[in-house]
């Protein structure tokens, strides 16, 4: 009895194998019909037209996909922009934006904000000390004489005062070292 049931089930399952409908090519519900032909059997201009049409269809699929991706990105960026704007208007959001900006350009800004004023102030000090001690200048020497209770100018003379060249060279060396330090602060 058991073997009879097994044979009956096998026949039943085998009948489903024959009910499977094979695929039929070159049939469609549209009004146009398709046939498979080798390209060597067609004229060259027809083959070129067919390949151009296939290329346009292929490119059209990619263009459609690109458009869909662009629309998805636009939607995502719009939503992201709205949320970032809402978060950016809070105190925590402003602090977070400050931290992000500091991570991106913080060290450069600190270098510029410290190095540039230091360079300007140091250069001004160098120029002032240079002109006070390293440039030849005329010096008026006034001698006073006492006439009674009053002092009266007795003699005036002008002389050229020569600067101390050792001090001038030393100040140039110090300024060159200072420029090197400021350049290192600003650019490294």
User: Mean pLDDT over residues 28-44, rounded?
Assistant: 73
Whether residues 82 and 109 share a domain: the answer is no
Are 154 and 125 contained in the same domain?
yes
Q: Residue 11 falls within a domain, yes or no? A: no
Which pLDDT band holds residue 128 (cuts at 50, 70, 90)? very high
Higher pLDDT, 39 or 75: 75
Residues 152 and 119 in one domain: yes
**pTM (2 decimals)?**
0.43
Considering only 76-90, 95-109, 150-164, which range has the smallest mean pLDDT?
Answer: 150-164
Percent of residues, the chain, with pLDDT higher than 70? 85
Considering the domain architecture, whether residues 109 and 183 belong to the same structural domain is answered as yes
pLDDT at 98 over 70: yes
* Residue 75 sits in the same domain as residue 113: no
d(CA 184, CA 188): 5
Same domain for 85 and 127, yes or no, is no
Domain-located, residue 29 = no
Residues 175 and 109 in one domain: yes
Tell whether 76 and 131 lie within a shared domain: no
The closest alpha carbon to 130, from 170, 79, 94, belongs to 170
* Domain co-membership, 118 together with 73: no
Instruction: Give Cα separations from 128 to 90, 123, 124, 139, 152 (angstroms).
Output: 49, 9, 6, 18, 34
Give how many domains the chain has, as a whole number: 2
Identify whether residues 63 and 123 lie together within a single domain: no
Return the pLDDT at 26: 52
Q: Is residue 53 part of a domain?
A: yes
Section 33-49 average pLDDT: 80
Domain residue limits at 56: 40-89
Is residue 154 one of the residues assigned to a domain?
yes
Local structure of 145: helix, strand or coil: strand
- Shared domain for 174 and 127, answered yes or no, is yes
Asked whether residue 72 is domain-assigned, the answer is yes
CA distance 54 to 46: 12
C-beta separation of 153 from 144 below 8 A: yes
């Amino acid at each position: 009895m058991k073997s009879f049931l097994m044979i009956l089930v096998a026949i039943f399952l085998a009948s489903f194998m024959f009910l499977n409908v094979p695929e039929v090519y070159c049939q469609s519900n549209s009004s146009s019909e398709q046939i498979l032909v080798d390209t060597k059997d067609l004229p060259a201009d027809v083959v070129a037209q067919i390949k151009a049409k296939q290329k346009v269809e292929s490119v059209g699929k990619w263009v459609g996909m690109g458009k869909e991706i662009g629309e998805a990105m636009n939607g995502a960026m719009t939503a992201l922009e709205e949320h970032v704007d809402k978060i950016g208007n809070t105190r925590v959001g402003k602090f977070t934006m400050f931290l992000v900006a500091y991570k991106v350009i913080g060290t450069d800004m600190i270098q510029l904000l410290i190095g540039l004023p230091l360079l300007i102030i140091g250069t001004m000090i160098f120029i002032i000390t240079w002109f006070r001690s390293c440039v030849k200048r005329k010096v008026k020497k006034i001698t006073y004489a006492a006439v009674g209770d009053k002092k009266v100018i007795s003699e005036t003379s002008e002389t050229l005062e020569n600067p101390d060249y050792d001090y001038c060279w030393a100040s140039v060396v110090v300024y060159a070292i200072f420029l090197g330090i400021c350049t290192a602060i600003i650019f490294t």
